[in-house]
Amino acid sequence: MATSFDIEPADATLGAIIRGIKINALDKRMWEALHEIWLEYALLIFPAQHLTRGEQIDFARRFGPLEAEMLKISNVKADGTLYTLQQDEEYLHLLEATHEWHTDSSYKPIHAKGSVFCAEIIPPGGTQTGWADMRAAYDALDPALRTRIEGLCAYHSFHQRHLKRGHTISREIDAKVRDDGLPLFGLNDGPPPLRPLVKIHPETGRKSLLLGQHVCGIKTMTEDESERLLRELMEFACQPPRTYHHSWQPGDAVLWDNRCLLHRSRPWDLSLPRVMWHTRIAGDPVTEAAL
């Protein structure tokens, strides 16, 4: 399909940097072209967009209903002060958990479709977010391992994963951080959803590994066996050329396909403010539902 914007593929199996468009002003033809490119690269980076919160929501909505309109992912409170380890340990553990590879909302009944993520305040010295391509990981697996995991299913849990890291996340944290202008939304207190280890993409038909820090156990295996296999798969999957890290500039916008990528934020100096805005696109209640 002919497009009138520049596509610069990243030096990885995923991702492209898109220039020459304003994503808040796409006509139908341009959006359709962009949608196709998104399905191909899974991660699109749009430098210097400087979207308003409303424009970010409108752009995300073109990809489907939203799971969450606007989440402030930040160490800055509503009153402008910073979270500190002394006073806000629990919240900072939540932020810290995003440094591990994960996929959004896999611990809820419906796994998210994708996200639009925008940078407002970036600390001097920069900060990065990384993505890992689970389609390429599946394709590159040793055939014997691919056969071994076919048909396996795993439980996904937010709380169990935090417990394993030695942290409990209290039920009150959700309301507490909402008062600071940082809404969380449902960490899922229900039974952990069961999901296949190999996911078929509902739009492209491609197979990918469904992994990440919220996977807390393969159904038919002992805990040891399951941990060993999950570690082996993660170590293999999250390696170049299947990973890409973006160094943020204020005003950048990113769109990713949560159905076939993992992502992680990289640590930054918490004495410096960082403000990012996240809009989460809801998964299809049929294809992204738990088993």
Q: Are 215 and 155 within 8 A, CB to CB? A: yes
Least Å distance between CB 189 and Fe ion? Answer: 19
Least Å distance between CB 263 and Fe ion? Answer: 6
Q: Are 18 and 6 within 8 A, CB to CB? A: yes
* Structural tokens at position 133: 């391509």
Residues that bind Fe ion (CB under 5 A): 104
Map residue 286 onto helix, strand or coil: coil
Q: Is the Cβ of residue 33 or residue 112 nearer to Fe ion in the bound state?
A: 112
Q: How many residues does the chain have?
A: 291
Least Å distance between CB 27 and Fe ion? Answer: 31
Residue number of the CB atom closest to Fe ion: 104
Q: Is the Cβ of residue 210 or residue 229 nearer to Fe ion in the bound state?
A: 210
Q: Is the Cβ of residue 104 or residue 133 nearer to Fe ion in the bound state?
A: 104
Q: Are 24 and 57 within 8 A, CB to CB? A: no
Q: Is the Cβ of residue 16 or residue 71 nearer to Fe ion in the bound state?
A: 71
Give whole-number Cα distances, 1 to 5, 99, 107, in Å: 12, 37, 37
Q: Is the Cβ of residue 55 or residue 104 nearer to Fe ion in the bound state?
A: 104
Least Å distance between CB 46 and Fe ion? Answer: 19
Least Å distance between CB 102 and Fe ion? Answer: 6
Give whole-number Cα distances, 217 to 148, 187, 231, in Å: 16, 18, 11
